[in-house]
Structure 1
Amino acid sequence: MSEITQPRILLIGTGDTKADELLFMSECIARAGGRTIMMDISVLGDPPYQVAHNKHAVAAAAETTIAAIASSGDENSAMSLMAVGAANLARELADRDAIDGVIAIGGTMGTDLALDVAQALPLGLPKLIVSTVAFSHLIPPERVAADLMMILWAGGLYGLNGTCTAVLSQACGAIVGAAKSAIRPRRDRPVVAITSLGKSCLRYMVELKPQLERRGYEVVVFHTTGMGGRAMESIAAQRGFAAVLDLSLQEVANQLTGSVVNSGADRLENAGRAGIPQIVAPGAIDMVDFPAWLGVPDELSDRPFHAHNRLLASATSGSADRRRIAQAIAEKLSRASAPVAFVLPAGGIQQWDREGEALHDPDALAAFVDAMRSAVAAPVELHEIKDHINSAAFNETVLGIFDRWVAAGIVPPGRTTVAA
């Protein structure tokens, strides 16, 4: 792995309104050992300095002109067009290996644009947004790139001050350090994604991961507590997997029942849209997550619940919600453009739904199983087993489907030896 001694950092911002901040950041990047490449996303004004990629280049990358953007109607339409251009231009620079990292600053406008830029960039290229709305509920999960870094821009509304320069200097040091240190993903072996919760709830990954690795695959496990599923969907949309074992669908259930712990409305859709084969199971769809520190929501107050820690708690969904979840899962899978197998463990779908556990509800489980039987239709394969999801029989069923697909050429064969 060759070391990057002077990372080329693409710095994105509105130079007509944030010139002082951007020039300060350029100095910080240089002091940290990087080299700044400026992209100006101003619409009306111009920065008082030279940039490598001006607003006209950004507009051209969106196949329009800055005059057309300025007269497009309002600030939302104008910045949406600039976002298209900035994302296209940044991706073109990344594809040419002309940049080693990207940092952008903004309030809601700049953040909105920067989120599109980050999603256009490949996994492993460091990307950081300095934002006055970082970590806010204004940012929906589906807008967040898989490896995006964010920092709250305290005191960053207007002009330089000691508070905001402390943040900006940290951010610049972080992006230069990340660009120097980043190890881009190697693709020596086909990559298989697995979704799961922790071992106290779902345990199949303990067996499936080493089994798939022995077959010559790199296995990436995603924690399905909202952002983990979002990361998986983002990489799937870029066709980053040979196969997806989407065995924990709690985020789908959360989104349908209004929980904030979700991955966006396109959860369980991107792999199918990208033509990636999927083995799917309903791990933990019976749990509705909520922030433990807010207390049990009124609408769940009569349902059994389990506090996982001080951040996260879960209540069970009832039979009606589970029927609705089953229908939504089947509908999403029916739109896939590659083979899909659905494994239905009728004996239970997470550790805490066993008899004697806090979330045991056999009637609601039976309602879900019946609904899935009715909803899943060809060409989606339905594999029902009587066992629990945390059982050897479940793992054997999943591996049996996977091996059959490898033999049929649906999933590429693994590589048991890789280049050094």
Structure 2
Amino acid sequence: MSVFIVGTLDTKGEEIAFARDVLESVGVDVHVVDTGVIGEPAFEPDTSAAAVAEAAGTDLEQLEREGDRGQAMEAMGEGAATLVARHDEAGTLEGVLGLGGSGNTSVATAAMRALPYGVPKVMVSTMASGDVEPYVEERDIMMLYSVADIEGVNQLSRQVISNAALAMAGMVTHDVDVEGSDRPTIGLTMFGVTTPCVQTARALLEDRGYETIVFHATGSGGRAMENLIEEGIIDGVLDVTTTEWADELVGGVLSAGPERLDAAAERGIPQVVAPGALDMVNFGAEDTVPEEFRDRTLHVHNPQVTLMRTTAEECAELGRIIAEKLTASSGPTTLALPLRGVSMLDSEGEDFHDPEADAALFDALREHVGDGVELLERDDHVNSEAFARAIVERLDEHMRGANVAP
């Protein structure tokens, strides 16, 4: 098995050779993948740029002739992803190390995102001190800022690249026996304002013999859970916190995209879903709230996060969307309504307490949910122990009915 180094040998050959040498000096086998499209490689790679382009269904010479750098980087990213995935499936890949500026960061992280969770992935990048979400998305990619440009091996780049290579070496040569689990795995979603419910539910589920994974409903968290459901890692869902849909609808900063709630429905796994934190849309610092929303009910959660109360009209649309998503499910599904409030801020006396908006949400959920979805209405707040116990009990019944209980 080998560590794959993905990089442009026409422009970063010296630096990639240095990383290769560091890895080999500590006994790690290396496979270099060339993703350069400008000129000749500095040394002979194990996988050529032509082979990478071919894996993307295109031709390197054609990419060179067309001279469209954006198109070329997209193609090389697709090809690199295809190739590393093949090697991972064949059992010949241990991890992926990338070096580069914005171009190869895009290419190498595309390859990394094609690999399963747990495969070591390290990216040394000039882009790592900024917004790395487009590169990382919801995968377990380690980003290391190069500090200076990756242009030559000097006292600074030598240290940074060595650190990255040795970090990779440590991951692939020290095989820590991480305890596995044969228990059914439940995915839960949580926000600060639904934490009491999720903490109680998690403890109850683990007492019943389930493994639990909690996802922070910040957009990337919801997408990560959807991915793990698709990969078959999650066996059931206690989706308490569907707040990401409020950001998707209204334009907040923590949307998980329009596919949120699709994976469990498509796979048909047991799920219990609640409208947790649908009373809020997320923005950054208060001065970043769009002008059109400045006269709305706002709550400064912390200096970096400002929450905005959803209106009755928005809540009605959220109810329709979520009900229709759940209606499409092919597995046992319960929609649980906490009639006394959907978040810490949606309690009597709190900033987002709005019975009219809550009523619009609950009415729309009732109206649009299909007959195949069980409707569980509770005269409880989402964070009450009674609500947590009720939804855990219902999910456990679904799991047992599907023969996936402990």
Q: TM-score, normalised by structure 2?
A: 0.88
1:132-159 CA deviation, whole Å, 9 max, x = no partner? Answer: 3336447448x61432221233322644
Q: Which of the residues 383, 392, 401 maps onto 1:390?
A: 383
DSSP-derived class of the 1:354 partner = coil
Look up the match of 1:42.
36
Aligned to 1:4: none
Matched, 1:227 2:209: no
- In structure 1, the partner of 2:48 is 54
Q: Tell me how far 1:304 sits from its aligned partner.
A: 3.2
Q: Secondary structure at the match of 1:308?
A: strand
Matched, 1:108 2:102: yes
In the TM superposition, 1:12-411 aligns within 5 A as 12-31=6-25, 34-67=28-61, 70=64, 74-134=68-128, 136-137=130-131, 139-140=133-134, 144-156=137-149, 158-181=151-174, 186-198=180-192, 201-292=194-285, 294=287, 296-409=289-402
Deviations 1:343-384 (A, max 9, x none): 122211011210112222222111211122222223333322
- Aligned residue pairs: how many? 405
Letter in 2 for 1:194: L
- Aligned identity (percent) is 36
Alignment partners' CA distance in 1, 2:29 and 2:117: 21
**Contact 1:125/1:182, CA 8 A, preserved across alignment:** no
Shift of residue 196 of structure 1? Answer: 0.8
Relative distance call for 1:8 and 1:273 in structure 2 (3 A) is same
CA distance in 2, matches of 1:301, 1:92: 51
Shift of 1:25: 1.9
Contact 1:146 / 1:234 at 8 angstroms: preserved in 2? no
**Any idea what the Cα deviations from partners look like across 1:103-159, whole Å, max 9, x if unmatched?**
112333322223322221111111122233336447448x61432221233322644
1:286-313 residue CA offsets vs partner (Å, 9 max, x unmatched)? 1112223745543333333333333323
SS of match in other structure, 1:260: coil
- Would the aligned equivalents of 2:98 and 2:109 in 1 still touch at CA under 8 Å? no
CA contact (8 A) 2:97 2:123 kept: yes
Supply the AA of the counterpart residue of 1:351. M
Give the aligned partner of residue 417 of structure 1.
none
Q: CA deviation at 1:406?
A: 2.5
Q: Using the alignment, how far apart are the partners of 1:98 and 1:400 within structure 2?
A: 44
Distance 1:89 1:264, change over 3 A: same
Mapped to 1, the partners of 2:335 and 2:346 lie a distance apart of 20
- Counterpart AA for 1:305: L
Distance 1:63 1:343, change over 3 A: same
The unaligned stretches of length 5 or more in structure 1 are 1-6, 415-420
Question: Bigger shift: 204-213 or 306-315?
Answer: 306-315
- C-alpha RMSD of the superposition: 2.8
- d(CA) in 1 for partners of 2:174, 2:366: 49
| Runs of at least 5 residues in structure 2 that lack an aligned partner in the other structure | none
Q: Which amino acid aligns with 1:112?
A: S
8 Å contact from structure 2 (residues 183, 210) kept in 1: yes
Hey, what's the Cα distance between the residues in 1 that align with 2:115 and 2:44? 25
